[in-house]
Structure formats: C-alpha cells, structure tokens
Amino acid sequence: MSDAGDILVLNAGSSSIKFAVFDSDLNPKCSGIAAEIGAGGFVEVDGERKRQPLIDHKAALQAVLSALKSKGIGLDKLRAAAHRVVHGGRNLSQPVRLNADVRAEIAACSPLAPLHNPHNLAAIDTLAQIAPELAQFASFDTAFHTTNPDVATRYAIPRMEETKGIRRYGFHGLSYASMVATWPDVTGEKLPSRLLGFHLGNGASLCAIKNGQSIATTMGYSPLDGLTMGTRSGGIDANAVLRLVEDHGLERTKAILNHESGLLGLSGGKSDMRNLMLDHSADANFAVEHFCYWTLRHAGSLIAAMEGLDAIAFTGGIGENAVTVRALILRGLEWIGVRMDPDANHRNGPRLHAETSKVGVWIVPAREEWMIARDALTLLEAA
C-alpha cells in the first residue's frame, strides 16, 4: 500500500454505503453511493449510476471498489480507509486506528445504536477480508460531545440504570467538528468563544460550542430526542411514549416515533422541507412553524448554557439551503441582537448577518467525509 496514496472514506447505513476518496492533501477526488442493498441495487460515482444486484453489504463494498478501480483508484492506490461510526459510547472519544480491541468496543456499543453500528462493522469487517493490509480508521459521531459536563449528560435516573449506558450522548458530532475546523477558512475570522451550531436536515440538532468544545446538544441517548425532524418526533414526554407502547406495542411505537412522526406526521405525508415550502396547506405551514418554533425553544436553552452568544452557524441540507426557514429562525433570535441581511440570506451567504448585528451569522457547509479523512491522515502522520 502506498505511503502517499488516497484515503477512502466509508459511511455504511442499513441499505447503503456512501463513499468518498481524498488525496494526500485532503482534496476530494470522487464520491458516490451504493444503495438499495438487498432490494435491487445500484452504484453511483460522481453522478454516473449503474444498476446491479447488491445482495448484502459485502457485495455492495466489492461493487464500490470495482467502480473506483474503473476510475483509476484501485486498492493499490489507497493509503487507508476511514469509517464513520455512529456510536463510540463512553470510551471511544477520539478517532482511532482499528484493531481487534477497538472493533470489540464498537460491537459493545451496538445496543446503543442497533440501526447503525452493526452496519458500520459490516463495512469494516468486509474490507479487512478484501484488503487485510490496508490500514483502517474510525471516527465517531458521538465523540465531539464527550466534552459535555456530567450535569448535561446524566439523566435523573437511579445510578444502576445509568451504568447500563442510559445517558445523553449527542450526535452529528462529525458535522460540528468540521464546522469548528473549517470556520476560519469559511469566515475569514477566528473561532468565536460562544458558537451555536444549527445542523438542520432530515435529522436535526443544535450544539452549544464554547471555546471550540461541545458543552451541550439537543440529541440525547439516541438521535430521536430534541428538535422536530423529518420523520422523528423529537422531544416527547416519556409517559406519552409508554402510552404509545401500551396502545401499539414496542416495535410499532419505535416505527411511529422514528419513521412516521416529525414533519411527516405533522404535515400528513411530507418529510422533505423543500416540498413543504411549496405546499401552502394549513398542515404544511404548521409543520414548518413547528420545526422553527422548537428549534428556537432549544436555541434559547443552549444560549443559556453558554451564558450568551457570539455567533451562529447553519449547516446540513435545510441549514444550507432553506432560505425561509433560516429567516424565520433568525427573526426569532432578534432579542439577543441578531440582525439578518435578507439579500445575503437569499444568496445563501456564507455571511448572513447585517452590519448592525451583534451576533455573527454564517453558513458553514457540512464536510463530514473530509473530517473523517483528516482524522485518519492525522493519525497516519503521527504514527
């Protein structure tokens, strides 16, 4: 394997594997997805799609490697592979080179992320079989939030239950880490002391970032908590959940809260913010209002956790593109000195604030794959 080769980044989900390749200077070379695993299948690289059967994750990863080879990026050109792993639990709080012990720790976290970690491991194990000499690394979506104080992560439940891993972890950590890392390049300014990150997409969360570290975030034990999302309910009273379990059983309740709620449930069928903004029905308007209202409610909480606010950053599909949603949220934060530049907002920034604003407002594009590649490169160069 080359010492100055490319880095392959893999993000394995339940029915897809997203991938990207970066050169040794962290410039993107190509990206794509293998999707519909187990239900047909296709591989897409830089917009070119080829349908082919993908019976499982092993077949999908082999198809990805084959597609990359046809683009001149064979295994012999790779220096390392780097994986997004959703849950690192308490112990995996930094990017790591994968070995048997780390793999066992990721597997031990699978009960905390049963829809994610097993698929992350499937990609790790398959690549180890195909290319056993290739160095593999992992970056964790929970890791950025391990700097949260105990008072922010501990639920008020008996300690015996807490020791089973029932605590607030937080997610979207790679997005927030890339926000911090790319801030000077995007804004031309140094990182502010008190930054409120808005990761708004189908999954949505906020993060209070003080002096570059997460001190509070809206997602908790799972990615279900916090804001109204595309299909997830966001925060809901635990007794209401128990009532749903009584009425529908456990598995059906999981489906309702994770896949049938949020914008989808409120609007009666639309989870995509772009479609909701084009639909002027009462239900669609209410869904958008609900999304913005609860985003603002949580924003106030995180501003209090930081004891003030110096800057705001929007990222994610909605955060980077939904002009009206950003405007509604920023209007709701005028009480703390936010003043939006409407023309800049319509241009999608990157700077969104007016000269009179006491708080800086920016769009900072999500660069999770780049962050994962940077983590791996840092570890390679430190070895």
Enzyme catalytic residues: 141
User: Per DSSP, what are the bridge partners of residue 203?
Assistant: none
Please answer whether residues 40 and 30 qualify as being in contact, where contact means their C-beta atoms are separated by less than 8 angstroms.
no
Q: Name residues whose C-beta falls within 8 Å of residue 134's C-beta, 6 or more positions apart in sequence.
A: 1, 75, 78, 80, 81, 127
User: Per DSSP, what are the bridge partners of residue 20?
Assistant: 9, 31
CA 109 to each of CA 85, 120, 128, 166, 168: distance values in angstroms, whole numbers, following the listed order: 10, 11, 20, 12, 14
Rounded Cα distance between 202 and 318, Å, is 8
**DSSP letters spanning 251-289:** HHHHHHHHHS-HHHHHHTS---HHHHHH--SHHHHHHHH
Please answer whether residues 315 and 229 qualify as being in contact, where contact means their C-beta atoms are separated by less than 8 angstroms.
no
Which alpha helices (DSSP H) does 206-352 contain, by range?
Answer: 238-248, 250-259, 262-267, 273-278, 282-306, 316-321, 323-331, 342-346
Rounded Cα distance between 116 and 350, Å, is 32
Rounded Cα distance between 320 and 283, Å, is 24
Half-sphere exposure of residue 118, counting CA atoms within 13 Å on the CB side? 9
Nearest alpha-carbon partner for 172 in 195, 202, 194: 202
Q: Name residues whose C-beta falls within 8 Å of residue 264's C-beta, 6 or more positions apart in sequence.
A: 230, 231, 270, 271
Rounded Cα distance between 279 and 272, Å, is 11
Helix (H, G, I), strand (E, B) or coil at 240: helix
Structure-token pair, residue 264: 């989808």
H/E segment holding residue 48: strand 48-51
Rounded Cα distance between 125 and 3, Å, is 22
